[in-house]
Amino acid sequence: MKSEASSIGKYVAAMLCGIVLTALYVRFGYTAPTVVQLGSKVAAEVVVTTAEVDLYDSKAPHEVRQRALAIVVGQRPDLFVEVDDAIGNQFFEEVLRRKAVRKAKLIKQRMRGYEMALAKPALRRHQERRFGVKETELLKQRMLIADIHEDEFLDSYLRRRFPEASGDDLANLVLNVYQNGLRSDSPQTAAQADFETGTLR
């Protein structure tokens, strides 16, 4: 029992240490002293060297070389940062776009819920007072915009990606996320959208 407890304690301590070191590296660029990293560096170099055999093998299938590259980059985060900077942060931006798309799709799915909520007199009156409008489509539009603003990540991403877009434009982007993938540089106004189906009229 003591041996098991000791093993669990060491595992938890190692996990916590890993979390702290990861946070320090991500936020401040701090890396542990070389002596501390020695064991892990040796292991990482073995992994990287093995992966590089396939990465630089011109006869290897593309997907094999891709997986090898993923392993190399996973072991060498500084290499990833250098390469991503060299290509204009395209990988970084694509990761953020995919996260934003997932969130936009989830918010879009709330449209039916808005319809059901507005069918209840008490909830409808509350939303009418909240947004100062009575027309059903406008109410759903305002509810959608409010939900976008409440999602800090999605709201900040859309405003950075589309700095000139109005709240209506952002709503339309979310409604048409399956079509535009949040890639469009000139979103149509949300007034043109059918807020029940999320398609353009």
Query: Which of 55, 71, 86 represents a domain boundary (last residue)?
Result: 86
The token pair at 186 is: 């000139």
Q: Are 189 and 168 in contact (CB under 8 A)?
A: yes
User: What pLDDT does 201 receive?
Assistant: 31
Q: Whole-model pTM?
A: 0.69
Average pLDDT, the chain: 81
Distance CA 26, CA 8 (A): 27
pLDDT at 165: 93
* Mean local confidence (pLDDT), 76-89: 94
Q: Are residues 153 and 180 in the same domain?
A: yes
Measured distance CA(195)–CA(177) in Å, rounded = 13
Q: What CA–CA distance (Å, rounded) separates 198 from 127?
A: 20
Considering the domain architecture, whether residues 40 and 116 belong to the same structural domain is answered as no
Percent of the chain topping pLDDT 70 = 69
Does residue 48 sit in the same domain as residue 75? yes
Closest to 70 (Cα-Cα) out of 42, 62, 108: 62
11 and 48 together in one domain: no
Summarised one tens digit per residue, pLDDT across range 182-195 is 986 544 444 444 44
Average pLDDT over residues 88-117: 95
- What are 15-70's pLDDT values in tens digits? 565 556 555 554 666 555 554 454 556 667 778 888 888 999 999 999 999 999 99
Please name the residues in contact with 98: beta carbons below 8 A apart, sequence gap of 6 or more.
Answer: none
The answer to whether residues 22 and 57 belong to one domain is: no
Our CA angle for 14, 15, 21, nearest 5°, is 85
Structural domain containing residue 96:
92-200
User: To the nearest 5 percent, what fractions of the chain are helix, strand and coil?
Assistant: 75, 0, 20
Residues 44 and 21 in one domain: no
Rounded CA-CA distance 101/107 in Å is 10
Q: From 97, 68, 72, 96, select the one nearest 82 (Cα to Cα).
A: 72
Residues 64 and 105 in one domain: no
Residues 175 and 106 in one domain: yes
Question: Domain check: are 126 and 172 in the same one?
Answer: yes
Same domain, 97 and 5: no
Same domain, 6 and 17: yes
| pLDDT tens-place string over residues 119-144 | 999 999 999 999 999 999 999 999 99
Tally the domains of the chain.
3
> φ, ψ for residue 178 (rounded to 5)?
-70, -25
- Same domain flag for 187 and 99: yes
Q: What gap in Å lies between CA 71 and CA 123, rounded to an integer? A: 52
Give the span between the Cα atoms of 114 and 110, in whole angstroms.
6
Nearest-5° Cα angle at 185, 114 to 88: 120
